[in-house]
Amino acid sequence: MKKSPLFVVSMALLLLLLAGQWLLPRREFSEMENRVLAHAPEVSVSSLTNGRWADRFEAFAADQIPLRDAFVSLYMTMEAVTGRRLMDGVLLGQDGRMFDRTDGYSERNVRLNAAALRGLSEQTGVPTYLLAIPSAAVIYPEAVPNHAPVADESALLNAAGEETKLLPLINSLCDVRGCGELYYHTDHHWNMGGTQVGYQIVCQALGLNALPVDALTETLPFFGSFYARCPLPWQKPDDFCFADVTGIRLIADGEEKCGLVDTSQLQKRDRYAALLYSNHGLMELINDNQNDGTLFVIKDSFANALLPLLARHYHRIVAIDPRYYAGNVVEEVNNCNCEVILCVSGLSSLASSRNLALLGGL
């Protein structure tokens, strides 16, 4: 029977992809997706009989397919041009803005995490403050697609404020949103505009005289975490820059770093991970120009842009990230003799996990 040209072309493409998958070098890491890719699974009797080998091979075949990034971009493009506005948890908004799907946020998680901060303050006798950063959808609601699956973040923040001392960040962000960008379009983090608003709020709460941010690095094109999940070809990059703070030493997980910024990471897609050399269970920022003052910080990645600004006011900042810290937080606070505890966290972390509530010692 005569085969149709479409069938012949399809089979030829499949054979080319299969050949490329086995002949081309294996990719260890996806820069686009910021994750380690699957490897070819080892064959064993047990893995064959229980089905694990087939599952792992499927993941390997999907991860190692030639031109994977191009195929993902093509698929997302086809979905977007047909009018779809929610893809892989990313909401496509107006003016090139991208947002997180947040309807799965849990008020119970927020309350448990905030109550843990209150408990930490009660156990240590150290005043504790929470700087909870809302998503960009709260600050730019007019850009969010109609009927989008988003949470009532104002209500979640009110719930947090009933459990611990919540700093009034959301109102300040809304007040100045017309003066410049506060969040990246292609990433979930705040940019330097939003970071400086947070810095002003923290200074007011802690009785610090806010210092000007005079030196910013040259802007670099930046495609963030949203773009990694939804790489549309027409998406414009963000401008990435950070405060060029000098005279501060960074010790991350016991290793002193060269400066506060991983310059090698600035050459990669995820430039935000360059700040404070990404995330660590325990880090210290030492300012030898200040003779005293210790601030204890419980953080997620939102704090990485903020801590260099705060480090100018203290001799020492001790910071833990609950996602990676395995010690006893009460002992850590007591040992560092801090004056204040500050939690800097995206509302997304507080609402989607119980990392604070599960810290050792609480």
Distance linking the first and last C-alpha atoms of the chain: 73
Between residues 30 and 84, which one has the greater pLDDT? 84
Arithmetic mean of pLDDT, 22-29? 56
pLDDT score recorded for residue 27: 59
Q: Cα Rg for the chain, rounded, in angstroms?
A: 23
Report, as an integer, the average pLDDT of 2-25: 56
* Count of Cβ atoms closer than 10 Å to residue 218 Cβ: 8
* Among 107, 94, 80, 105, CA closest to 141: 94
* pLDDT value at 65 more than 70: no
Cβ atoms of 361 and 324 closer than 8 Å: no
Cβ-proximal residues to 86 (8 Å cutoff; 6+ apart), any chain:
92, 101, 145, 148, 149
Mean pLDDT of 219-232: 94
pLDDT given at position 49: 65
Q: Using one digit for the tens of pLDDT, what is the confidence trace for 94-138? A: 999 999 999 999 999 999 999 999 999 999 999 999 999 999 999
| pLDDT for the residue 194 | 97
- Give the residue ranges of DSSP H helices in 136-216: 136-139, 153-161, 169-176, 192-206
pLDDT band, residue 67 (cuts 50/70/90): low
89 has pLDDT over 80: yes
Rounded-to-integer distance, Cα 313 and Cα 309, Å: 8
- On the question of pLDDT at 215 being above 80, the answer is no
**Top-confidence residue, 279 or 8:** 279
Find the mean pLDDT for residues 164-188: 95
pLDDT of residue 73: 73
**Average pLDDT of the residues in 312-321:** 98
Return contacts of 72-76, CB within 8 angstroms, 24+ apart.
72/32, 72/231, 73/231, 73/232, 73/233, 76/230, 76/231, 76/232
Q: Quick one: average pLDDT of 320-347?
A: 97
Q: For residue 297, give the amino acid letter.
A: V
What are the Cα distances from residue 49, in Å, to 46, 55, 172, 234?
Answer: 5, 12, 59, 46
255 vs 25 pLDDT, higher one: 255
Structure confidence at residue 74 (pLDDT): 75
CB atoms within 10 A of CB 125: 8
On average, the pLDDT of the chain sits at: 88
By mean pLDDT, which of 157-161, 211-215, 284-288, 290-294 is the weakest? 211-215
Q: What is the percent of the chain where pLDDT is above 90?
A: 73
Does position 15 have pLDDT exceeding 60, yes or no? no
Residue 13 confidence class, pLDDT cut points 50, 70, 90 = low
Confidence category of residue 76, pLDDT binned at 50, 70, 90: confident
Q: Could you give the CA distance from residue 244 to residue 241 in angstroms, rounded to a whole number?
A: 9
Spatial CA neighbour of 168 closest among 195, 202, 209: 202
* Residue pointed to by tokens 């905030």: 114
pLDDT in tens, 229-274: 999 999 999 999 999 999 999 999 999 999 999 999 999 889 999 9
How far is 64 from 62, CA to CA, in rounded Å? 6
